[in-house]
Amino acid sequence: MTNPILSDWTTPFEIAPFAEISDEDFAPALEQAMAAHNTQIDAIANSPEQPSFANTIEALEAAGEQMDKVLSVFFTVAGADSNAKREELQREFSPKLSAHFSGISSNKALFQRVADLWARKDELELTEEQARVLMLTHRGFVRAGAALEGADDDRMQDIKSRLASLGTSFTQNLLADERDWYMDLSEGDLEGLPDFVVNAARAAGEEKGADGPVVTLSRSLIVPFLQFSPRRDLREKAYRAWTARGANGGETDNREIAAEVLNLREERAKLLGYPNFAAYKLETEMARTPDRVRDLLMQVWEPAKKRTDADAEILTAMMQDDGVNGPLEAWDWRYYAEKRRKAEHDLDEAALKPYLQLDRMIEASFACANRLFGLEFAPLDVPLYHPDCRAWEVTRDGQHIAVFIGDYFARGSKRSGAWCSAMRSQAKFPEVQAPIVINVCNFAKGNPALLSYDDARTLFHEFGHALHQMLSNVTYESISGTSVARDFVELPSQLYEHWLEVPEVLAEFATHAETGEPMPQEMLEKVLKAANFDQGFQTVEYVASALVDLAFHDGAAPADPMAKQAEVLAEIGMPQAIRMRHATPHFAHVFAGDGYSSGYYSYMWSEVMDADAFAAFEEAGGAFDPDRAKALEENILSTGGSREAEDLYLAFRGRLPGVEALLKGRGLIAA
């Protein structure tokens, strides 16, 4: 019987047949896929023909189609709907996959063919895109250690395998801590909480099988609890649990894992001839060097720190007016900031939230994409991996463009955060394939589901990533969609957030859940005026995390990462009442894999561009200016990694921006 993962998928648009796939199918499918991939790689590496772009680079691009099917399905469900068996499989697959891909990148015969092409690149008559793919392929082999020999080569393979296993363990430990902790609430503990928080707590209690409402460590529940609960003792208990994830001792403690990861990364970089991991990692990014990253972060840190120092004085006075003596603590900030927002902007999140229905915000994100890029979205009735998921066919001028899948609600089987991934990426070689793109979020359930303003921004953010995938129009999958420099990949997502704040968008789609009435003009104006409220806090908690990440990798690996974290925070003068957005033991961006390691700064690097890019629309015909939309698609959204990120931005804007647009956008300096 054919394994359903590896069979021909006869589903609409060849979406994975989730209903036919069981957890027992994954391991044999992976073994078969790896064997098939190895056969393809051996045929390329050992070909008697002189290396050519077609028989080497294009052959590599075409290889591994079975691997793509297995891994796209498995990692989708492992991240968004995990269970004990899938966690076991992740631990089993991690070293196997590391060994498999390391075997390819260290294949000397294969590398020799790539190196031969690289040496003859000027005589190959390649297109611009082909030349780019050759360069990236050659660079990828070199940076993976393909030129290493003997003991160094062996050690590199061991390091990669160990790092893969450690990343899996870090992720699973964090998921376990988030899944297992919750705080029971009595009916009295609910006093002072808005209905949407009470409803979310009751729903969480039902999911946990508790006797009543609970607070979990899901951001969509714990943040509003910290904002609204008048019970300082409960806020402290919940906050301490939230910030202790990965640092509770026992089997799920991530601190030793973090230390080992940093040591292995340093060793890996030095094997490749770099002084440290940051130098290795940043070489291929827009920033290029640790010094440029630090310079940007400190330009933002100083005005943000100044703002939070002033804010802390105001919040402390408010707290003392409530009869609470002593310093403002981290579990106090959100509560008093929310009170201040209500007082200064007359904006009550409890009153605002009914206007931010999940379904209406999804409609808003689609409508903006329609006005900007002509995309249309039609619901699809197809089996997916969880009942919460929904799907749409994306078309333009009647032509199929993509399939978009949304998985929006928090649950115990889903890792925290929000992300976008492509279950299938756009490509034209070896055949035309349209993308299947998924957005995964962690919003609180409700009937109807209501979002905070921050949740709504997250929805637009992830959909910006999805547009980058859906509008991709390149030949080769290796440079498709979001396959760009890490500090450029957040530009489309952060740029798309701006359309949520366009008044006409909120006026049309922010309608009351019960009455259907549009958001009153007075409230709409307050929302937009308050958009930068508490930006000092948000900037400080983010930049502190980015500076710690950079310090971990720019120099010798610290023996004690927690001590290094404390040292960096002391040096920059971290305010007492604000903590890092992601402390080391739960800093999944940095320790779950290499993706954002020495690269957490990239959100801010991209924000420098996104503030300037949206200004290009405002300077033209407004948020929906067709010429600017066309330029954005042609120069950024459709081009993937076919050119250097800096060149793509220059083609769109004509110049590179300074940090002033970001500071003005965050309200940290006068506009």
C-beta separation of 111 from 169 below 8 A: no
Contact by Cβ (8 Å): 502, 270: no
Q: What whole-number percentage of the chain has pLDDT above 70?
A: 100
pLDDT, position 532: 87
The rounded distance, in Å, linking the Cα atoms of 374 and 629 is 10
> Using CA atoms, how far apart are residues 255 and 321, in angstroms rounded to an integer?
39
Residue type, 64: G
Give the mean model confidence (pLDDT) for residues 43-71. 98
**Residue 14 contacts by C-beta under 8 Å, 6 or more apart in sequence?**
424
504 has pLDDT over 70? yes
Q: Are 561 and 262 in contact (CB under 8 A)?
A: yes
Where exactly are the structural domains of the chain? 12-147, 181-245, 278-345+534-671, 354-514
CATH of segment(s) 12-147: 1.20.1050.40
Across the chain, mean pLDDT equals: 96
pLDDT at site 476: 98
- Contact (Cβ atoms closer than 8 angstroms) between residue 177 and residue 248: yes
226: DSSP letter: H
Residues forming beta bridges with residue 419, ordered by sequence position: 440
Q: Which of 285, 462, 477, 607 is catalytic?
A: 462
CATH of region 354-514: 1.10.1370.40
Contacts of 64 (CB under 8 A, 6+ apart): 33, 37, 40
Cα separation, 145 vs 589, whole angstroms: 24
Residues 6+ apart with CB under 8 A from 267: 155, 159
Residue 671 pLDDT level (bands cut at 50, 70, 90): low
Rounded Cα gap, residues 133 and 50, in angstroms: 19
Give pLDDT tens digits for 599-632.
999 999 999 999 999 999 999 999 999 999 999 9
State pLDDT tens for residues 293-350.
Answer: 999 999 999 999 999 999 999 999 999 999 999 999 999 999 999 999 999 999 888 8
Residue pLDDT, tens place only, 356-382:
999 999 999 999 999 999 999 999 999
pTM exceeding 0.75: yes
Q: What is the mean pLDDT of residues 588-603?
A: 96
Which residues have a Cβ under 8 Å from the Cβ of 218 and sit 6 or more positions away?
178, 204, 410, 416, 442, 444
Per-residue confidence band for 162, with pLDDT thresholds at 50, 70 and 90: very high
The per-residue pLDDT for range 181-236, each reduced to its tens digit, is 999 999 999 999 999 999 999 999 999 999 999 999 999 999 999 999 999 999 99
More confident residue, 528 or 264: 264
12-147 against 354-514: fold identical: no
User: How many angstroms separate the CA atoms of 539 and 534, rounded?
Assistant: 9
Predicted local distance difference test score (pLDDT) of residue 670: 78
Q: How far apart are CA 420 and CA 653, in angstroms?
A: 26
User: Distance between CA atoms of 283 and 156, rounded to whole angstroms?
Assistant: 19
Query: Sorting pLDDT into bands at 50, 70 and 90, what band is 168?
Result: very high
Strands 419-424, 436-443: pairing is: antiparallel
**Using alpha carbons only, how large is the chain's radius of gyration in Å?**
25
Q: What is the DSSP letter of 450?
A: B
Q: What is the 3-state secondary structure (H, E, C) of 325-363?
A: CCCCCHHHHHHHHHHHHHHHHCCCHHHHHHHCEHHHHHH
pLDDT of residue 348: 86
Nearest CA-CA partner of 131 in 144, 118, 146: 118
- In this predicted structure, the answer to whether residue 573 has a pLDDT above a threshold of 80 is yes
d(CA 537, CA 400): 43
Is residue 128 annotated as part of the catalytic site, yes or no?
no
- Write the burial class of residue 514 (CB in 10 Å: 0-12 exposed, 13-18 middle, 19+ buried): exposed
Answer for the pair 312, 577: CB distance below 8 angstroms, yes or no: yes
CA-based nearest residue to 648, from 504, 479, 512, 418: 479
Query: Distance (Å, rounded) from C-alpha 308 to C-alpha 534?
Result: 8
pLDDT for 664: 87
Average pLDDT on 4-30 reads 97
Q: Tell me: pLDDT of 661 over 90.
A: no
- State which fold the 278-345+534-671 domain adopts: Neurolysin; domain 3 (1.10.1370)
Give yes or no for a contact between 541 and 579, defined as CB atoms under 8 angstroms apart: yes
Between the alpha carbon of residue 48 and those of residues 38, 39, 43, 55, 82, the distances in Å are: 17, 15, 9, 11, 45
- The string of pLDDT tens digits covering residues 222-241 is 999 999 999 999 999 999 99
In whole angstroms, give the CA distance from residue 305 to residue 539: 8
pLDDT of residue 349: 84
Q: What token pair was written down for 58?
A: 């294009």
